[in-house]
Structure 1
């Protein structure tokens, strides 16, 4: 999927609405995800990019809710499967306007279990020191193109709000 690295935001307005948007709200469980566009012939690349951007906008929405609660988050550490894609991490950093940190060891559950086992066996005695010794940063993604996504995120959430209202008609 190297083409995604150079594939710019679609100026024709292609977006995806994920079902997780509805699942977070018990009163909207009947809503479904979908793809919206105003180009009669979107390509496969448009679909894939829209799905990734739509999913990343879910993170931006969650960050907006957290911000409304006056909780300050300056960075996000990503582990597991989603940490294995440079493009995915880049999109999340750009859309959320937030540092994304990916650890060298991406399988955090396995590493966490090993750390707890080492402490339980008495090989290490201090949890914080053990984590500092065994967990290291692999890559940091700074938001580079957040400005171009500001309009996208606002448009995405406006579509979500309108669809939410229509779902009750």
Structure 2
């Protein structure tokens, strides 16, 4: 849903709103994971969306965490292999698998933008709560 649309909004605003909405959804998932599993220290990004520097910066700002872009073509397979190495005892700790990932770029979060996004995340969550049954 697009909320707060006015006549001054054009295509670029709608595209930005879509990217922000995806990031806000991911943020909610990340917050739930942190509640059950503990603090997430890093975000690793791979795949097609890493071609968008703006989107990567948006993720860093929304989460207020560094985003590490990897040179890994198939991150899902790499992640599965890392979990397998840990489960089989080939590595002692999941942190040891970080050496297997090559970081090619890092995005630093901006605190001022994060504060703005957190206000928007609150609105996003409230709208979702009110509209989820209708969707």
Give the alignment's TM-score, normalised by structure 1: 0.60
Tell me which of the two structures has the higher relative contact order, counting C-alpha pairs closer than 8 angstroms and 6 or more residues apart: 2
Deviation at 1:127, TM superposition (A): 7.8
Choose the corresponding residue for 2:119, options 143, 151, 157. 151
Residue pair 1:100, 1:141 contacting (<8 A) in 2 also: yes
5+ residue gaps, structure 1, are: 1-33, 116-125
Give aligned pairs, total: 120
Q: In angstroms, what is the RMSD of aligned CA positions?
A: 2.8
Q: C-alpha offsets along residues 11-56 of structure 1, whole Å, 9 cap, x if unaligned?
A: xxxxxxxxxxxxxxxxxxxxxxx22224134211110110010111
Q: Counting helix residues as a fraction of each chain, which structure ranks higher?
A: 2
- Within 2, Cα distance between the matches of 1:141 and 1:160? 29
Give the alignment's TM-score, normalised by structure 2: 0.74
Deviation at 1:70, TM superposition (A): 4.5
Larger radius of gyration between Structure 1 and Structure 2:
1
5+ residue gaps, structure 2, are: 82-89
Deviation at 1:87, TM superposition (A): 0.9
The residue aligned with 1:163 is 131
- Within 1, Cα distance between the matches of 2:11 and 2:107? 26
Q: 1:92 to 1:154 in 2, by over 3 A?
A: same
